[in-house]
Homo-oligomer: A and B are copies of this chain.
């Protein structure tokens, strides 16, 4: 399966994975949320090859996650800033960081702490249900096909071809 094919899948996970589902895109986004915005800054702190960095930035711009704005004429220089669409990725980034905090830290503890400026405390992100406000657990969630689902092929038995989410 090609990356382009992922985008076409009737599955919100696959489509999002087409945008951010490689290690470098996620690492670049980490830098963006840490207020980095220039080519060399990304390159220095990530150790990514310049070739791939150029490529990934292009991709993220193409998907509308980053915007490329000139900050200097002659020579033209650009910086990359998060669009609203990009900012909306924050819960993904935070939940990834949180999982790492719980399951991947060594004996020294967390590399980074997050302070919620609104309340002034170090916090962890918590995922709750938009309707009842209770924490959401995998076992308590039932999925149903939505309007954008692929038509189920309805072959005999319990064999429905695809499994979008």
Q: CA A125 – CA B137 in complex, angstroms? A: 11
Q: Among B17, B92, B163, point to the contact of A36 (Cβ < 8 A).
A: B163
Q: CA A110 – CA B16 in complex, angstroms? A: 13
A45 near B111: Cβ-Cβ < 8 Å: no
Q: Among B26, B109, B131, point to the contact of A121 (Cβ < 8 A).
A: B131
**Interface status of A59 (Cβ within 8 A of chain B):** no
B119 near A131: Cβ-Cβ < 8 Å: yes
**Interface status of A72 (Cβ within 8 A of chain B):** no
What is the CB-to-nearest-CB distance from A160 to chain B, in angstroms, rounded to a whole number?
Answer: 9
Q: CA A70 – CA B163 in complex, angstroms? A: 24
The size class of the interface chain A forms with chain B is 35 or more
Beyond A99-B88, A112-B145, is A125–B130 a contact (Cβ under 8 Å)?
yes
A13 near B26: Cβ-Cβ < 8 Å: yes
B87 near A115: Cβ-Cβ < 8 Å: no
B34 near A143: Cβ-Cβ < 8 Å: yes
A95 near B97: Cβ-Cβ < 8 Å: no
Given known contacts A13-B93, A128-B128, what 20 new A-B pairs fall within 8 Å (CB)?
A: A12-B99, A12-B112, A30-B165, A33-B165, A45-B162, A85-B103, A88-B102, A92-B92, A92-B95, A93-B165, A94-B136, A109-B146, A109-B147, A111-B165, A112-B144, A114-B141, A118-B129, A121-B132, A122-B144, A125-B128
